[in-house]
A and B are shown apart, each in its own frame.
Chain A
Amino acid sequence: MSELQAGQGAALNISDAKSTRYRDVIIALIAFVVLALLPMLTSSKFLLDFVIRCSAYGLFATSLNLLVGYTGLTSFGHGMFFGLGAYGYGLIMQKTGVPIPVAFVATLLITFVFATVIGAICVRLKEIYFAFVTLAFQMLIHSTILSWVSFTGGDQGLRGGIPRPPFLGIDLSNHLHLYIFSCALLVIGLLLMRQIAQSPFGYTLRMIRDNATRASFVGIDVYRAKLTIFVLAALFASVGGMIMALFVSGAYPEFAYWTISGEGIFINMLGGVTTFLGPMVGTVLLLILNDTVTRLTEYHGIVLGIVILFFAIGLRKGLMDFVFEWYAQRRDAARERG
C-alpha cells in the first residue's frame, strides 16, 4: 500500500455527489473573487507576482498529484510538460503572431501529442522504471532545447519578449489583466482537476493506485486509464508553463530542467497528497521558502535539501496530511463522546 494517498475514505451518498459539485464551484468562485479583489487592498507588485507564480506552479504541482497521489504513478519528468507549455506558447507567439487564445489551444494540442507518445511508452513500466524513464524524456527535451539553438535560443532561452496582443478586451501586457487572467486559469484549472478527482474516473485511478491487478479483474483497462491521466495531467502542467511564459515574457531552459519535476514532487510531499489542495499549500510554502532562502544565502540547495530530509525522514508526511489526520481524530473523538 502506498504511503501517499489522495482522498481516502470520505463518506458518501448519492445526493452528496451532486451537492459537492455545487459546493466546489461556490468555493472556487469565492476564491476567485477574493483573489481578484486583492489588487484593491494592496498595491504590492511583489504580492501579485507571487500569486501569479503560485498559479503557474500550483497548476503544475496539483496536476502532478493526479499522477502521484491519485494514481500512484511516480513521475520524475512531469516538469517536461511545464517546459513544453512555456516553450510551445512562446514559440508560437513569437513566430506566428496568432491571437493568444489560438496559441493557447495550439500549445495544448502539442502537449497532447507529446504526452500521448511519451505516455504510451512510459505508463506500462514498473514504478522505478517509470520514474526514471519519464526523467530521461525530460532530459531529452531539455537537451534538445539546449542544442537546437536556431529554434529555441539554446541556453539563452526565448528572448526578446513574447508579444501579448490584446484579445476580447483583455490586455495581458497590463499587469493587472495578467494577474486576473492567471488567477482565472488557476481557479478553472483546479476546479477541472477537482472534477477529475471526484469523478468515476477519479475512483478508477484510486483503484489502480491501490491494486492495479485487481482493477484489471474488475474490468478496467489499466493501461488506458493510466495513459489518459498521464495526458490530462500533462495538459494542466502545460497551462502552468504557459502562465510562467506569460509572466516572464520568455522561456528558459530551466523551465524544462529536471529540477522542476523534483520541486513538483517536493511540493506534493511538503503540502501532502491526502487532500486535493495539499499541493497548492505546498506550492505556497515552497515559493515562500525559496524566496526567503534565496535572499539569505546563495547555497539554497543545502537549505532546501535539509528541509526535504526533515519532511521525508523526520515527519514522513506533508503538512496538510497532519491537518487532515488531526481533523479526523477530533471528529472521531467527538463522535465517541456524542
Chain B
Amino acid sequence: MDLDALTGCLTTSACLVTQTTSGLIIGMLLFLVAVGLTLIFGVLKVVNFSHGAFYMFGAYFAMTTYQLSGSFALAMLAGAVGTAIIGLIFERGFMSRVYGRDVLMQLLVCYAFVLIFDDVVRMVWGPEFKSMGMPSAFQVMPLFIAGGVVPPYYLLLIGVALVAALVLGLGLARTRIGKVIRAAAHNPGMVSALGINTGLIYGGVFALGGGLAGLAGALAAPVRSLTPGMGFSVLIESFIVTVIGGMGSILGALVGALLIGLIRSFGSLGFPLFTEGLMYLFMVIVLVSRPSGLFGKEVA
C-alpha cells in the first residue's frame, strides 16, 4: 500500500490530469465492450461469454489493416466491421441454437468459441506479443493540460468512444430500429407478432455488440500489446462493469466503466498490488447493497 503516492497525486494538478485521462481511456474502452455485452443481454437474454474475443479480433484486424494500408481510419473500420460480421455469423450459426436452453449450454458454446478464437489468432498471427505502433499522425508533441501530459491519441480515443455512446443512445431512443430493439428487449413475442423478423434483430444486435467490442479493440491496438487471450481480462472487467451499472442499462454501462477506469488508474498509485482487488471489492459492495446494479431495474 502506498497511500502517500495517492494523496500526493490527488493534490498535484499534473498528476491528477494524467491519471484521470488514463482512467478515462480505460473506462471508455471498457464501456465500448460492456455496452455490447449489456445490449446483447438486454435483447437476447444471454451473456456473451466470448465477447472478449471480439475485442481481440478488433485489435488484430486493425493492426493488419494498418500494416497493409497505412490508413488509421481504415484500420478502425476494419476492426469494427470485421468483428460485426463474425458476430453475425456466430449468432446465426451457433448461439441461436441455444436460446432458451440452460445457461450452462450457452456458457459452454461460448467457452468453445473462446478456445477456438484464441487458437485461430495464435495460428494466424502467432503466439508472441504484437504491437501495432502509434500511427504517424499521432506521433506529435503531447498536450500539456494543467501541467499533466496528455497524448493526443488519448483525446481521439475518448472522443470516438463518446461519439459512439451518443450515437448508440440516440439511435436506440429516437430511430425506428432503436424502438424495435427496445421492444424486443421487453417482449420478444410481441415483436414477432408485429411481423418483424426477430432473427434479423437478434443477429443485428449481436453484430452491433460485436462491432463495438471490435472498435474498442481497434482503438486499443495502438496503445496496448496484442496477444491471444488478451480479450479475457477485458471480458471479466466488462462484466464487472455491467454488474455495477446494471445489466441491460446503457447509462449504467457508461457510469460503471468510468468508475472502474478511475478506480484502476488511481488505485494503481495507492494500491499497486491490489488494483484488481479494488475493482472486485467495489463490485462486491455494489452487489451486496444494490443487487441489480446502480442503474438496473428491480429484480432483473
Contact = CB atoms under 8 A, between A and B. Distances in A.
Contacts of A76: 107
A266 B283 CA distance: 28
A131 B283 CA distance: 15
Given A136-B239, A144-B277, A265 B122 contact: no
B123 A299 contact: yes
Contacts of B116: 301-302, 305-306
A81 B11 CA distance: 42
Interface string A110-152: 0000000000010011111101110111011001100110000
A4 interface: yes
A48 to B, nearest CB: 29
Contact of A265 (B41, B107, B120, B236): B107
A312 interface: yes
Contact of B104 (A74, A136, A143, A304): A74
Nearest to A314: B97
A311 B108 CA distance: 9
A275 B253 CA distance: 41
Given A136-B240, A136-B280, A140-B280, A148 B273 contact: yes
B105 A309 contact: no
B92 to A, nearest CB: 13
Interface in A247-281: 258, 262, 265-266, 269
Contact of B120 (A139, A147, A262, A302): A302
A308 B287 contact: no
A305 B291 contact: no
Nearest to A269: B108
B118 interface: yes
B47 A4 contact: no
A3 interface: yes
A300 B123 CA distance: 11
Interface string A74-100: 101000000000000000000000000
A312 B119 contact: no
A313 B273 contact: no
Nearest to A68: B104
Interface residues of B, number: 42
B103 interface: yes
A257 to B, nearest CB: 10
B104 A269 contact: yes
Contacts of B119: 299-302, 305
Nearest to A308: B112
A44 interface: no
A127 B103 contact: yes
A300 B274 CA distance: 33
B243 A132 contact: yes
28 contacts: A2-B102, A3-B104, A4-B102, A4-B104, A74-B107, A121-B287, A121-B288, A126-B300, A133-B283, A136-B236, A136-B239, A136-B280, A136-B283, A137-B280, A147-B273, A265-B107, A266-B108, A266-B111, A269-B108, A299-B122, A299-B123, A301-B116, A301-B118, A304-B112, A305-B112, A305-B113, A308-B112, A312-B98
Nearest first, the 9 A-B pairs at minimum CB distance are: A305-B116, A301-B115, A308-B112, A301-B119, A305-B115, A305-B112, A302-B119, A312-B108, A143-B276
Interface of A: 2-4, 68, 74, 76, 121, 124-129, 131-133, 135-137, 139-140, 143-144, 147-148, 258, 262, 265-266, 269, 299-302, 304-306, 308-309, 311-313, 316
